Structure 1
Amino acid sequence: MQRTLLPRWLTDAVYTIIGILFCGFALKSFLIPNEFFDGGLTGISLLIHEIYHINIAYVIVLANIPLIIMGGLQINRKFAVKTLIAVVGLGLCLLLIPYPQITSDKLLVSIFGGVFMGIGVGLAIRGGCALDGIEVLALYTGKRISFTISEIILGINIIIFLIAGIKLGLPTALYSILTYYAASRTINFVVEGLEEYTGVTIISGQSEKIKESLVIGLGRGITVYKGERGFLKDSFDISQPVDIVFTVVTRLELRRLNNTVKDIDPKAFIFTSVIKEAAGGVLKSRVRHH
């Protein structure tokens, strides 16, 4: 048992440490020297730092403690402990490592500050913890009011950027929104990677050939639903049975799958959906994110 757990812990630790270093780099080399902000709890911490001139390392650690406690209640104690260690590590990183200021160009700061922050937060997520606990707050709040987690996070970020606009000027707030967008897109890419899964549903009169091509040719697992096709406006009463084929591929494989299906049946109806998490079956094993 110990042999199987040790590499996982080491992997988590490496992801988290590198994530902390990237976040520290984004904050001290880009955002803090230029009075820029991010969304979420990091944005709140930066805002407090700019308004009250309290050391950002202390602000980030203290601001995260209530959300770490919530995380222990809402998710699990292991997550809370790992997040506490990571946040304290980020605070020490900000105190001890003398990151240089890279640039004062506002566009470069907003884009690359967000990208490096996104890399750091995303790697921490892959390590099983959180360097920004805003989603924990949204999860806790969402159980008490009738808003989705995304809506709560959006509302919190709107308040952050409104305060930033009032206190530090509208241009800074607008550039900071760009920082937040770059960070959020980078987090998604780091967490999901190139192997983000996509569910593909195929409806075709040539379903037998398509099934064979997917399984034998592409090596994909499939699920088949029994359905009916037809029901057109001019012939509503006419329909025929059809096998509805469902499979899961990575986005790198999606183009090849589409071309394969269209070669068999150019009129095939294909639609896709993003799958946030998938495991088991014939899927390739992936790096554990949580």
Structure 2
Amino acid sequence: MKELYAKHTIVDVLYAAAGILFCGFALKGFLIPNHFFDGGITGISLLLHELYHWNIGYVIVLANVPLIIMAAFQVNKGFALKTFLAIAGLALCLLFIPYPQITSDKLLVSIFGGAFMGIGIGLAMRGGFALDGVEVLALYTGKRVSFTISEIILGINIIVFLVAAVKLGLPTALYSILTYYSASRTINFVVEGIEEFTGVTIISGQSEIIKEELVMKLGRGITIYKGERGFLKDSFNVSQPCDIVFTVVTRLELRRLKNIVHELDPKAFVFTNVIKETAGGVLSRKVRH
């Protein structure tokens, strides 16, 4: 057990170290030399750096310290310590590693600067570390207002980009929004991976055949809910019992599943939803760190 824990700890630290190096590369190789910025606390730090010319390494730490303290109470002390170590590592990376400036092309900076930033943050997240305290702030605020965490983060970023538009010009703010979008999409890909799971619910009069095809041909486990189908406007009192089929597939398998269902029953009602986390069952997915 101790050996397994030590192995996981080493892997987590390697993820965090790689994430810090990628973030440092994105900041010093793309964003900072071209006066671009990102969302969240990192975006606020970059904005302060541009407006007051404070050293970015110190600003990132100071801007995140209140949120790290907040994380100790809102999440747990272990997470707060890991967040502090990751942000301190990023600050040291920015202070001492001489990254070269890669390009001055604004479109390349906004896309690839955001992509490398997303890779770095995503790798750190896979290791259980955080390189930006904005989600802690959103979690704290969300308990006191009726907005969701995503809405709060969006509101914070809107304020950051509006200030940037006023102080640094609208074109810079617009390019930085593209940077933020590129980073957020890359984070999703790095954290979720190409095997992001999708839950699929199927309601059909041909449920028996569909169940067999999903299990025997697609090789997926299924769960069955007992329900009734019908209840149409012209025949509300007419309904039939049916098996509602639920399964979980990767996005690479989703198209094949839909094709199978459509061939068996073109009128089948199928809807999907993204699965953020899975555990147990028969899913053959690698364990995330």
What TM-score do the two structures reach when normalised by structure 2?
0.97
3-state SS of 1:36 partner: coil
Question: Displacement, 1:48?
Answer: 0.8
Q: CA RMSD in A?
A: 1.1
- Identify the residue that residue 78 of structure 1 maps to in structure 2: 78
Q: Output the CA distance in 2 between the equivalents of 1:98 and 1:81.
A: 27
Between the two proteins, what is the percent identity of the paired residues? 76
Matching of residues 250-265 of structure 1 within 5 Å: 250-265=250-265
- Identify the residue that residue 142 of structure 1 maps to in structure 2: 142
- Identify the residue that residue 89 of structure 2 maps to in structure 1: 89
Matching of residues 1-290 of structure 1 within 5 Å: 1-289=1-289
3-state SS of 2:278 partner: coil
Question: Displacement, 1:45?
Answer: 0.3
Question: Displacement, 1:216?
Answer: 2.0
Equivalent residue letter for 1:253: E
3-state SS of 1:233 partner: coil
3-state SS of 1:235 partner: coil
Equivalent residue letter for 2:11: T
Query: 5+ unaligned residues in a row in structure 2: which ranges?
Result: none
Equivalent residue letter for 1:136: V
What TM-score do the two structures reach when normalised by structure 1?
0.97
CA displacement, residues 203-259 of structure 1 (integer Å, 9 cap, x when unaligned): 111111111111222221111111111122222221110000001111111111111
3-state SS of 1:273 partner: strand
Equivalent residue letter for 1:288: R
3-state SS of 1:220 partner: coil
Q: Output the CA distance in 1 between the equivalents of 2:87 and 2:24.
A: 11
8 A contact 1:279–1:285 mirrored in 2: no
CA displacement, residues 97-150 of structure 1 (integer Å, 9 cap, x when unaligned): 100001111111111111110110011100101101101100011111222111
Question: Displacement, 1:263?
Answer: 2.1
8 A contact 1:29–1:100 mirrored in 2: yes
Question: Displacement, 1:82?
Answer: 1.1
Equivalent residue letter for 1:218: L
Equivalent residue letter for 1:70: M
Question: Displacement, 1:286?
Answer: 2.8
Question: Displacement, 1:33?
Answer: 0.3
3-state SS of 2:110 partner: helix
3-state SS of 2:231 partner: strand
Query: 5+ unaligned residues in a row in structure 1: which ranges?
Result: none
Question: Displacement, 1:195?
Answer: 1.1
